[in-house]
Structure 1
Amino acid sequence: MIDTIGTLLLGAADAGAVASESHSSSVEMVHIATTLGMLLTASLLAGLASEFLRLPKVTAYLIAGLLLGPSFGDVIPHEHHLVLEPLTKLAMALVLFYLGTLFPFDQIRRISRRAIPLSFGELVFTVILVTVGTYVLGMSAAQAALLGTLAIATAPATTMFVLRETNAEGPVTSLTGTLVTLNNLVAVIAFELVWLAIEVAGGDASGSISQTVLLLVRSLGGAFLLGLVGGLVISYACEIMHTRRWLVLLVGASALMLGLSESWELPYMLVFLVVGLVVVNSSSGTQKITAQMDSIGGLLTVVFFSVHGSELDLNLLMDVGMIGAGYVVLRSVGKVAGIWFMASRTGAPVEVRTWLGPAMLAQAGVAISLAATATSRNPEMAGEVQTIILGTVVVFEILGPLLTRAAVLKSGEMPIANSIHHTFGTPLGALRNVFTRLAGSAGLLSKKQALSERMRVEQVMRRSVVGIAESADFNEVVHFVEHSHDNTFPVLDEDRCVVGLIRFDLLNQAFFDPHSDHLVRAGDLATPPEVLLHPAQPVRDAVELFRHTTDDCVPVVTDEPPHRLVATVRRSDLTSLLIRDRKAGLS
């Protein structure tokens, strides 16, 4: 991995050395390695500060870049952004690769009925509000139509990084990933169609409509074909290669496909979504593949967001004026109201109605790329559109991650404890912890189980839990288990009270009974729960419980009878929290 990273950074340094020959005297003194070092150092410090301030790391990295960019320090030469562009695009490509792996075919079929209506409502509300609103505020019809189309796009890297950082899981989280994918696919296609309509309406079409449509089909079809071939090659290569060679394979294949996409003028975002989709449906080692990408993806993510932050210019936010402010409000209202409206009509859970919209507001790379494409085609008409996008990105990229994180926390899909960071304290507190651990190791002080003493179950539980109905037949139980991450499943009566637990080992025995499909119900497979947790109990009770059971999760029920299911506590969440607290050494 070190060799791979070193090769990437050395390549960037060599390219920067060539580019720096044409710089002004002040820029010539700044080497590309210095720029990269400043960005990484600032991001490191910002990441530590985010632990203390409880901010998403994405926001911290963006602010770190912003402080070094033209709005404040202005110490990053513009030419260096061009040199680092291959690294930032590779980071985006790996994020889109991962995003594609979230959609095995069986899951697509399962969530499409829920996701498509929500996506349709969001897109329609957003396009109409932004197009009509910006037209009323003074944009031309063509410019307003472009802004309405660009408003569809949601930043995939920003949104997915926040979801992975929070370890969130549930309907809001899964629908967010699905809608981000649909948004960007629709944005790319709709942009080309709207641009074609603008040219035809203005009589500026350089060729026939059929030629333009064929060019669009070639672009989208070529991206799909390249992604299909690339995904199959990666799946096959991972089958015949040792895992220690996978990292070089994945980075090399991704860089090659990125270069081919750029050379052939194919939308690389679509290419890597298809790659991930093909890999997850054709490889048996998808989790190992994504784990390999994580080993380099962390560094590339820091580079991506810090570089992206250093390109943000607060002066542009001032330049966009009333139209820019209107775009921010109209796009935000369109996404939130569109999802709320369709979720209400389709009977979606209240958490989805309330929090899915705010999770979708981040906007950056896709919109910027499409705006730049429009400007290159018609600078006079699209120049102001690009200014508005670049100016408002500052707002969406700073507030977007905060809202996404708040959405998964408020919807109960992220344990409260995950929002409490334990890796940063005051210098005096850190010094005290060092000597406390030293004294404890020497036997002079008793070691404290600080976290389990001061935290309650409600801070570590996951509220996004469904459970299996007591009357569910065997096929329904199997369907539930198939899409669950646990191996212990609560069975509920009509009042959502826990009547028992289905454990995977018992369920495994039922698989061999040919009459199970018709005769067995969930209640027949369930065993009475030995112990249940309550939200107000101290975490030490949960720790003690897991010491005496092999279950991977324990139901949490209300304190007052009837004891209805409200959440579960996972062994993995509790273990991770205890390990993190032990490493931090907080007293």
Structure 2
Amino acid sequence: MELTTLFYLALILLSGLIFGRAVKLFKLPNVTGYLLAGIILGPYCLKILSADMVTALELVSEMALAFIAFSIGSEFKLSYLKKVGTMVIVIAVVAASLAAILVTVSLIIIGVEFEIALLLGAIASATAPAATVMVIKQYNAKGPVTESLLSVVAIDDAVAIILFGLSTAVVNTMQHPGESSTVMSIAMPIIEIAGSLVSGALLGLLFTVPLKYFKKDSNRLIITTGFVFFASAIASMINLSPLLLCMSMGAVLVNISDSAESVFSLADRVTSPIYLMFFVVSGADLNISILPELGFIGIVYIVARFIGKVLGSYLGSAVTKAPAAVRKYLGLTLIPQAGVAIGLSLIASQSLPMYAQSIRTVVLSATFVYELIGPVLTKVSLKKAGEISE
């Protein structure tokens, strides 16, 4: 009896749900369970999900990434950014940039090829807000560190996507040196980023039109899903960044439409199973057989990113004269890494297919480690800052 794709999707959903609940016994975030389910079911463990099936399910990843980027765009509400001021923006940019620089330089020093080091550096700049928010809600944390943290993680991933877009364009140019002049080689990354942002902004404007005529939640959910998928597809078709384009569309929508809040709320309802499948499939893609040979690279990635986030947060806080508690404790709360980083690693592996397994394995392994220690570090930091009672 031949098993169908629908069967595998059902298996992925149910196994992810079970493993997500199981890891809660160890006070770990759901994403750790989802990744673990994928590793166990995948082609490098029980082989229930074959390598071909994992490849066939890349559409799930594209859908998840489009929605992730769209939701990140919702955090760029101008009224909110004016309220929090420049402090959190500076901290987010410095922390993300320093993590990217330290990882890139460290990997180059130990002999990793420049293209791989550059992409891994850009990926290192991303932070996972889900695990952080979970800890804040669980312990009802309140105070300057908590407030700064919520704002910083909202901006951090947007910075990561922009850095990654620039890095990917540079790598693509380096991979095809004879296809363009020096001027075009320099201009192409800028054109790709600008094109993605402008195209996303135009789609954000267009998004508001059907919202005027369709008021029911069911209809608006259809409109939202259609626009997110269309934005991702059109970006791929014209060689722009799907992540940047979807993020830009979300950012414009949240600033010009009174219906934006309900639209993003509706999107949250439909994305839970998509995100779960994305993480399980990503876990299945983790080639545990090459972990020993990538061990040192992975350790350097983890340590360099850790230092970059903590030091970058401290420097950004010092420059903006943030409260002492923010300077001392915010950096450790920026360690978790998951959805965006995993998605960026997938795109990076497509840009450099010959290094696909190495890139994916390093990022997925690091994600697993970060998701184990990240929530604990967040809790400890907030406790030391005096913002949780437990």
**Same-fold status (TM-score > 0.5):** yes
Per the normalisation by structure 2, the TM-score is 0.85
Structure 1 residues 235 and 172: CA distance shift in structure 2, 3 A = same
Measured against aligned partners, the alpha-carbon deviations of 1:322-367 in whole angstroms (never above 9, x if no partner) come to: 2332222222222222222332443323245423344245132213
Cα distance between partner residues in 1 of 2:120 and 2:68: 25
Provide the secondary structure at the position in 1 that maps to 2:70. helix
Cα distance between partner residues in 1 of 2:175 and 2:66: 31
Cα distance between partner residues in 1 of 2:21 and 2:89: 39
Choose from 136, 148, 165 the match for 1:171.
148
Structure 1 residues 44 and 190: CA distance shift in structure 2, 3 A = closer
Cα distance between partner residues in 2 of 1:271 and 1:336: 30
Structure 1 residues 256 and 205: CA distance shift in structure 2, 3 A = same
State how 1:109-120 maps to structure 2 within 5 Å: 109-111=82-84, 113-120=86-93
| 5+ long unaligned stretches in structure 1 | 1-27, 414-461, 465-534, 537-587
2:193 paired residue number: 220
Q: What letter corresponds to residue 329 of structure 2 in structure 1?
A: T
CA contact (8 A) 2:106 2:304 kept: yes
Choose from 326, 330, 335 the match for 1:355.
330
Structure 1 residues 364 and 192: CA distance shift in structure 2, 3 A = same
Cα distance between partner residues in 1 of 2:271 and 2:226: 13
Cα distance between partner residues in 2 of 1:372 and 1:88: 13
Displacement of 1:147 in angstroms is 5.2
Displacement of 1:49 in angstroms is 1.2
Choose from 261, 268, 292 the match for 1:294.
268
Tell whether 2:226 aligns with 1:252: yes
Choose from 131, 137, 140 the match for 1:162.
131
Cα distance between partner residues in 2 of 1:254 and 1:391: 28
Displacement of 1:97 in angstroms is 1.2
Tell whether 2:238 aligns with 1:268: no
Choose from 309, 317, 320 the match for 2:283.
309
2:205 paired residue number: 232
Measured against aligned partners, the alpha-carbon deviations of 1:198-232 in whole angstroms (never above 9, x if no partner) come to: 579xxx44320223344334422332232112212
Cα distance between partner residues in 1 of 2:116 and 2:48: 35
Cα distance between partner residues in 2 of 1:125 and 1:359: 13
2:359 paired residue number: 389
CA contact (8 A) 1:91 1:297 kept: yes
2:66 paired residue number: 93
Cα distance between partner residues in 2 of 1:223 and 1:323: 32
1:180 paired residue number: 157
CA contact (8 A) 1:235 1:283 kept: yes
Structure 1 residues 308 and 323: CA distance shift in structure 2, 3 A = closer
Q: What letter corresponds to residue 176 of structure 1 in structure 2?
A: V
More helix, by proportion: 2
Measured against aligned partners, the alpha-carbon deviations of 1:16-50 in whole angstroms (never above 9, x if no partner) come to: xxxxxxxxxxxx83321221122112112112213
CA contact (8 A) 2:96 2:125 kept: no
Cα distance between partner residues in 2 of 1:53 and 1:272: 35
Structure 1 residues 353 and 206: CA distance shift in structure 2, 3 A = farther
Structure 1 residues 256 and 128: CA distance shift in structure 2, 3 A = closer
CA contact (8 A) 2:36 2:283 kept: yes
Per the normalisation by structure 1, the TM-score is 0.58
Tell whether 2:72 aligns with 1:102: no
How many residue pairs were aligned? 375
Q: CA RMSD, aligned part only? A: 2.9
Measured against aligned partners, the alpha-carbon deviations of 1:221-279 in whole angstroms (never above 9, x if no partner) come to: 33223211221222232232122311111111211222212211211000111111011
Cα distance between partner residues in 2 of 1:89 and 1:355: 32
Structure 1 residues 238 and 354: CA distance shift in structure 2, 3 A = same
1:137 paired residue number: 110
Tell whether 2:302 aligns with 1:328: yes
Structure 1 residues 316 and 177: CA distance shift in structure 2, 3 A = farther
Tell whether 2:334 aligns with 1:364: no
Q: What letter corresponds to residue 401 of structure 1 in structure 2?
A: E
Provide the secondary structure at the position in 1 that maps to 2:57. helix
Q: What letter corresponds to residue 154 of structure 2 in structure 1?
A: G
Structure 1 residues 315 and 111: CA distance shift in structure 2, 3 A = farther
Q: What letter corresponds to residue 146 of structure 1 in structure 2?
A: L
1:463 paired residue number: 387
Cα distance between partner residues in 2 of 1:146 and 1:217: 17
CA contact (8 A) 1:87 1:304 kept: yes
Task: Report sequence identity in percent.
Answer: 20
Cα distance between partner residues in 2 of 1:247 and 1:408: 34
Structure 1 residues 260 and 191: CA distance shift in structure 2, 3 A = closer
CA contact (8 A) 1:180 1:360 kept: no
Cα distance between partner residues in 2 of 1:213 and 1:133: 25
CA contact (8 A) 1:359 1:407 kept: no
More strand, by proportion: 1
Structure 1 residues 316 and 114: CA distance shift in structure 2, 3 A = farther
Q: What letter corresponds to residue 369 of structure 1 in structure 2?
A: I
Displacement of 1:80 in angstroms is 2.1
| 5+ long unaligned stretches in structure 2 | 138-145
Cα distance between partner residues in 1 of 2:287 and 2:80: 40
State how 1:337-348 maps to structure 2 within 5 Å: 337-348=311-322
Cα distance between partner residues in 2 of 1:136 and 1:254: 40
Choose from 9, 13, 19 the match for 1:40.
13
Structure 1 residues 191 and 82: CA distance shift in structure 2, 3 A = closer
Displacement of 1:411 in angstroms is 4.8
Choose from 67, 71, 74 the match for 2:40.
67
1:488 paired residue number: none
Cα distance between partner residues in 1 of 2:348 and 2:245: 16
CA contact (8 A) 1:355 1:407 kept: no
Deviates more, 1:267-276 or 1:39-48: 39-48
Cα distance between partner residues in 2 of 1:102 and 1:338: 21
Provide the secondary structure at the position in 1 that maps to 2:179. coil
Of structures 1 and 2, the larger Rg is shown by 1
Choose from 192, 212, 234 the match for 2:169.
192
Q: What letter corresponds to residue 324 of structure 1 in structure 2?
A: G
CA contact (8 A) 1:361 1:396 kept: no
